[in-house]
């Protein structure tokens, strides 16, 4: 763990729970792609840079989840380097309480205010800032979070952030975190079109061929949507009932973190299915219930293709 791995002529990554990318810039300095979970991750990254005699010039946050921005504060304290993100993600990095508050749906209780969901705040600039490293190119990858981006290094290596989960993670947890299903499905389609000598997902093995992993992720997301739709077709269900049924069926154990993260994904899935005309919401006896719409027992092929073209 925290080993330096070369990905291209001017690209490396630090193998860690959330990979930290490294791009060699034209002036000999380097830019980090994300900063890891916490201050310790930032310290380990700096130790690796020092060993290579690399000067940290900037950090690019692909998105504002705590495991990608947790080292920001320490890196800025130690090097005064600028940190960049898209406008939406920069706002979350400046005000990190927004992440646990949003996934929980209110003021987050203490178990959701630890470092895994609540990073230290950091002053982050937008990627439109003139000091953004001109050697790098960002690629929109929305869906997992609001305005996530991938980063292409000068040698073409593509850092994919959390656009794809590993096959092992999908098999174990079954409910990947997705904020916007329509955007995510569109991102998967775009990923299959991208050309790069090497792809580096944050939570999956780096590879020269991303196609198989894209297809695994699409299959997992489609299966989750179909199962939720099927539950709504059995009888009207409330959100809590759907969450329990899925966790029981998948052999998972619910805790506060999973309630927030998996629960957020399921709510987003319900919104996507409702927007697609497959299910509808109604209130009965002061309960919000979701039920299948007539003749919408399975996702029509036309709907599938339109969703893929959008996301």
Note the pLDDT tens digit of each residue in 133-147: 999 999 999 999 999
Helix (H) or strand (E) holding 85: strand 83-85
Same domain, 191 and 242: no
How much is the mean pLDDT over the chain?
Answer: 94
The last residue of one of the domains, among 161, 187, 219, is 219
pTM of structure: 0.93
Residue 297's pLDDT is: 46
Percentage of residues in the chain having pLDDT higher than 90: 94
Same domain, 156 and 296: no
Q: Provide the residue range defining the domain that includes 246.
A: 228-310
CATH number, residue 91: 3.60.15.10
37 close to 46: Cβ distance less than 8 angstroms: no
Q: Looking at the predicted structure, is the pLDDT value of residue 302 above 90?
A: no
What letter does residue 231 receive in the DSSP assignment? H
Among candidate residues 180, 211, 181, 178, the one with its CA nearest the CA of residue 194: 211
Same domain, 47 and 185: yes
198 close to 7: Cβ distance less than 8 angstroms: yes
Residue 4's pLDDT is: 98
Same domain, 40 and 134: yes
Beta strands in 25-136 (DSSP E): 30-33, 56-60, 83-85, 125-126
Same domain, 239 and 210: no
Same domain, 198 and 252: no
Partnered with residue 4 across adjacent β-strands are 14
Note the pLDDT tens digit of each residue in 98-112: 999 999 999 999 999
Same domain, 200 and 254: no
142 close to 163: Cβ distance less than 8 angstroms: no
Same domain, 198 and 78: yes
Residue 310's pLDDT is: 30
Note the pLDDT tens digit of each residue in 41-81: 999 999 999 999 999 999 999 999 999 999 999 999 999 99
Kindly state the average pLDDT of the residues 155-167.
98
Q: In which band, very low, low, confident or very high, does the pLDDT at 294 lie, cut at 50, 70 and 90?
A: confident
Q: Looking at the predicted structure, is the pLDDT value of residue 300 above 90?
A: no
What letter does residue 293 receive in the DSSP assignment? P
Q: In which band, very low, low, confident or very high, does the pLDDT at 307 lie, cut at 50, 70 and 90?
A: very low
Same domain, 173 and 215: yes
Kindly state the average pLDDT of the residues 289-300.
73
Same domain, 138 and 205: yes
Judged on CB neighbours under 10 Å (0-12, 13-18, 19+), 134 is exposed
The last residue of one of the domains, among 219, 236, 271, is 219
Q: In which band, very low, low, confident or very high, does the pLDDT at 296 lie, cut at 50, 70 and 90?
A: low
Contacts of 55 (CB under 8 A, 6+ apart): 28, 29, 30, 49
């Amino acid at each position: 763990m925290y080993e330096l791995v070369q990905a291209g002529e001017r690209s490396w990554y630090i193998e860690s729970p959330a990979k930290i990318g490294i791009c060699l810039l034209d002036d000999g300095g380097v830019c980090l792609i994300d900063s890891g979970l916490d201050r310790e991750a930032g310290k380990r990254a700096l130790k690796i840079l020092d060993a290579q005699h690399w000067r940290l010039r900037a950090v690019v946050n692909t998105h504002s989840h705590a495991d990608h921005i947790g080292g920001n504060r320490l890196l800025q304290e130690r090097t005064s380097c600028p940190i960049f993100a898209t406008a939406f993600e920069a706002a979350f990095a400046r005000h990190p309480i927004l992440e646990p508050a949003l996934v929980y749906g209110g003021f987050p209780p203490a178990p959701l205010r630890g470092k895994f969901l609540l990073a230290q705040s950091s002053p982050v600039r937008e990627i439109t800032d003139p000091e953004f490293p001109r050697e790098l190119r960002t690629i929109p990858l929305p869906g997992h979070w609001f305005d996530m981006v991938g980063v292409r290094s000068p040698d073409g290596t593509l850092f994919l952030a959390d656009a794809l989960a590993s096959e092992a993670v999908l098999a174990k947890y079954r409910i990947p975190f997705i904020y916007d299903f329509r955007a995510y499905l569109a991102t998967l389609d775009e990923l299959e079109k991208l050309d790069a000598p090497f792809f580096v997902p944050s939570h999956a093995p780096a590879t020269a061929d991303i196609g198989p992993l894209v297809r695994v992720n699409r299959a997992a997301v489609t299966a989750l949507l179909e199962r939720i739709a099927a539950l709504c077709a059995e009888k009207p269900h409330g959100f809590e009932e759907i969450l329990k049924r899925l966790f029981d069926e998948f052999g998972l154990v619910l805790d506060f973190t999973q309630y927030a993260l998996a629960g957020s994904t399921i709510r987003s899935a319900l919104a996507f299915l409702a927007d697609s005309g497959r299910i509808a919401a109604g209130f009965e006896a002061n309960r919000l219930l979701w039920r299948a719409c007539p003749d919408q027992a399975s996702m029509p092929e036309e709907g599938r293709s339109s969703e893929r073209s959008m996301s």
